[in-house]
Amino acid sequence: MRSLLSIREEEGTVMKNPGLHDGPSCPAPAPIGDGVRLGHGSGGRLSARLFRERFLPAFDNEHLQKAEDGALLQVGGAEVVVSTDSFVVSPLEFPGGNIGDLAVNGTVNDLAMMGATPRFLTAGFILEEGLPFPILDRILAAMSSAAREAGVVVAAGDTKVVEVGKADGLFINTTGVGTVERGVRPSPLRIRPGDAVLLSGPMGCHGIAILAARGELAMEVELESDTAPLHELVDSLLDQLGSAVHALRDPTRGGVASALNEMAVTSRTEIVLRDDALPVPPAVEGACELLGLDPLYVANEGILVAIVSPDRTDDALAVLRRHPLGRGAVQVGMVTGDHPGLVTLRTSLGGHRVVDLLSGDQLPRIC
Amino acid sequence: MRSLLSIREEEGTVMKNPGLHDGPSCPAPAPIGDGVRLGHGSGGRLSARLFRERFLPAFDNEHLQKAEDGALLQVGGAEVVVSTDSFVVSPLEFPGGNIGDLAVNGTVNDLAMMGATPRFLTAGFILEEGLPFPILDRILAAMSSAAREAGVVVAAGDTKVVEVGKADGLFINTTGVGTVERGVRPSPLRIRPGDAVLLSGPMGCHGIAILAARGELAMEVELESDTAPLHELVDSLLDQLGSAVHALRDPTRGGVASALNEMAVTSRTEIVLRDDALPVPPAVEGACELLGLDPLYVANEGILVAIVSPDRTDDALAVLRRHPLGRGAVQVGMVTGDHPGLVTLRTSLGGHRVVDLLSGDQLPRIC
């Protein structure tokens, strides 16, 4: 039997999301050529291929095969979750945050989505010669404050410096270690037909805030990145609903669409979204219309997707809404068994379309 | 009481290593200006100041204060060592290895020096658009093979892509998780006057191999990087000598001199080296003479410094020499209580000089 992933790629020519590709014929993604392209960093189809064709064969093991936000390890008799993420966002500072709190929150959230309690971070800095100290200091202060807020200790670090023009100001890698305190861990493998698909807040704020900070919007937007640590939201959900929380994911690079696609493939279910339920703030909608972007693919750094048992939908929404970061929680769709591995969108007019992985990037260097 | 570190800096004008600084008056290091300089990545004095003045205050905690190769953490009831390192070596490939095996071995060795058994690695890749796949594939193959050799699993990874000219081919962060299996861990705090200072093999091979690969030597050198995983060497030492192994360090960036300086400061002892005992291969010596470098500051990636109880010196040397990576093991000096925090070198003619931390870099981008 062919894997779902390969089925989807072969059928890619008919499944594309109109309006998001270069031409009306929606060609299949170009074969990977001789080198790395920007799209390989998109979190979309090219990223998946790069991982599957080059990284996975090199490091073949059960942890990487799961393609989760982190790895669950048995270390010295303890269950530990480890997750790593490099941050290359441009610009380094933007409304609502900077690369520092983004790097802390990003890894804290990856641990939380695995059902782990974030404990420790390591931080690796690659500094470009000439980076002004006031900028570095603001970034370190933001990291420190984000770490305090998330209750994690930055326990080990490393700095390297490269010549002017050999990096872009500053790149940060954060790697997180969390502990598993609960018996049942959320995992895409626990998603079942019938489950409710919830989103904890409005979509697209981070990506559009970055675009605005780059000066790429011809309009003024009053929008901040939503970067925030989601561990408390996850804690509340797991404390109140336990194993009724089937899967969690923070829809960062590649947006809600890419996160849901990964979950649909892993769980071999279809995820059906309702167009009129998607929480898109007016500023995000306006910017997306202007630039021809789809908010479903715009990065978020402070919301989560929760897939929960249908009989607990209202409880889950109530728990989310009690937390400041979950006030805007809504149900955006449901899980079916109809088209395993697909994400589809039903419009209020009764139409529906496939919400596929993009080939490359809508927005490079967003995190 | 002032800390040893501050005493050393204030007295810096008289303690410098002649021939390694700009002028005969050996000025104190320039105050840190408005931004990052290449020297901040040297592993020397500027690196230490950057860490102490900016990173340590931001993330103040007991783990970072120890300034060891990694952090010893209590995670879920287990003792775990975590270490992180970013690799920015230029060129990406060089005689004896590439950035891939360097990144694996580097973190494996940092864990081993903490007395931990390396178990898992995470790998974060920052790829420059246009990096040819054949190069990436060779690097991944080298990582994979190094991980297998060291018995570690690459359990989680991340890739980001930045535009042409925004990185230099490829940067890799590896973060390692190891377990502590033994009751007594080597630590610079356990160094005592009288201890023997051993080196497991020849000095300077990695740094000079990188210079040769850059075409910066006007001579031909037959030299390969010594990049290698040192965990077996450490295992043998700890198995055979137990708590008589007081401290271990891999003298990478900044070379043997910088590693010993850190150990002397932490242990508040003096480390006295014997000039005629230093194992400098002819090719390293020739290249260093040509370029005005001191082999004591040239990076190594496959040797370790072991500081052991004096009554076990011969046993330790015998254990090291039984392993292929320790065949060239020698005693290079001893520990005294005379000048706490200093490393000094006795020459065969009876002279002696302080082997200080360099201010900045002999060789940037060496690892």
> With 60 as the cut, is the pLDDT of residue B17 above it?
no
Higher confidence at residue B26 or residue A255? A255
Cα distances (angstroms) measured from residue B314 to each of A131, B65, B120, B186, B230:
49, 34, 33, 18, 20
Answer yes or no: do A54 and B137 touch at CB < 8 A.
Answer: yes
Question: What is the pLDDT at residue B263?
Answer: 96
The ipTM estimated for the assembled molecules is 0.90
SS (H, E, C) B319-345: HHHHCHHHCCCEEEEEEECCCCCCEEE
Over range B209-213, report the average pLDDT.
94
- Longest pairwise C-alpha distance within chain B: 57
Least confident of A28-42, A303-317, B209-223, B258-272: A28-42
What span, in angstroms and rounded, lies between the C-alpha atoms of A367 and A254? 10
> With 80 as the cut, is the pLDDT of residue A216 above it?
yes
Among B122, B149, B365, pick the best mutation site for testing chain A contact (most A Cβ within 10 A). Answer: B122
- Picking from B127, B132, B140, the nearest residue to A34 by CB comes out as B132
Chain A: closest CA distance from residue B191 (Å) = 22
- Picking from A80, A122, A144, the nearest residue to B75 by CB comes out as A80
Distance of CA B17 to the CA centre of its chain: 19
Look-up of token digits 């561990």: A231
Q: Chain A window 262-291: which residues touch B at a Cβ cutoff of 8 Å?
A: none
Band of pLDDT at residue A69, cut at 50, 70 and 90:
confident
Least confident of A105-114, A216-225, B276-285: A216-225
What span, in angstroms and rounded, lies between the C-alpha atoms of B140 and B74? 32
What span, in angstroms and rounded, lies between the C-alpha atoms of A220 and A210? 13
Cβ atoms within 10 A of the Cβ of B119, count? 22
Band of pLDDT at residue A33, cut at 50, 70 and 90:
low
Beta bridge partners of A132: B35
Least confident of A104-118, B83-97, B146-160, B213-227: B213-227
**Sheet of B305-308, strands arranged across:** B245-249, B305-308, B196-199, B330-336, B270-274, B343-346, B352-354
Is the N-terminal amide bond of B91 cis, ω within 30° of 0? Answer: yes
Q: Which residues contact B270 (CB under 8 A, 6 or more apart)?
A: B264, B335, B336, B337, B338, B339, B340, B341, B342, B343, B344
Query: What pTM, to 2 d.p., does this model score?
Result: 0.90
Q: Is residue B159 less than 8 Å (CB to CB) from chain A?
A: yes
Q: How many beta-carbon pairs below 8 A join chains A and B?
A: 286
Over range A337-352, report the average pLDDT.
94
Chain B residues within 8 A of A35 when measuring between CB atoms? 129-133
DSSP A269-307: -EEEEEGGG----HHHHHHHHHHT--GGGS--SS--EEE
User: DSSP state, B132?
Assistant: B
What CA dihedral angle connects B175, B179, B183 and B184, to 10 degrees? Answer: -20
Q: Is residue B167 less than 8 Å (CB to CB) from chain A?
A: yes
Higher confidence at residue B103 or residue B363? B103
pLDDT tens digits, B279-326 = 999 999 999 999 999 999 999 999 999 999 999 999 999 999 999 999
pLDDT tens digits, A253-283 = 999 999 999 999 999 999 999 999 999 999 9
pLDDT tens digits, A133-148 = 999 999 999 999 999 9
Answer yes or no: do B179 and A36 touch at CB < 8 A.
Answer: no
Answer yes or no: do A61 and B153 touch at CB < 8 A.
Answer: yes
Encoded amino acid at B11, one letter: E
Q: Is residue A34 less than 8 Å (CB to CB) from chain B?
A: yes
Average pLDDT, chain A: 89
Count Cβ atoms within 10 A of the Cβ of residue A169 and give its class: 0-12 exposed, 13-18 middle, 19 or more buried: buried
> With 80 as the cut, is the pLDDT of residue A103 above it?
yes
Band of pLDDT at residue A348, cut at 50, 70 and 90:
confident
- Write out the two tokens for A268: 């071999």
Number of H-type helices and E-type strands within chain A: 12, 14
Task: For helices B205-213 and B282-291, give the axis angle rounded to 10 degrees.
Answer: 60
Determine the length of chain A.
367
Q: Is residue A347 less than 8 Å (CB to CB) from chain B?
A: no
pLDDT tens digits, B72-122 = 999 888 889 999 999 999 999 999 999 999 999 999 999 999 999 999 999
Beta bridge partners of B343: B271
Band of pLDDT at residue B16, cut at 50, 70 and 90:
very low
Chain B: closest CA distance from residue A13 (Å) = 26
- Write out the two tokens for B154: 């690459």
What span, in angstroms and rounded, lies between the C-alpha atoms of A58 and A351? 43
Cα torsion angle, B331, B332, B336, B341, sign: negative
Q: Is residue B107 less than 8 Å (CB to CB) from chain A?
A: no
> With 80 as the cut, is the pLDDT of residue A23 above it?
no
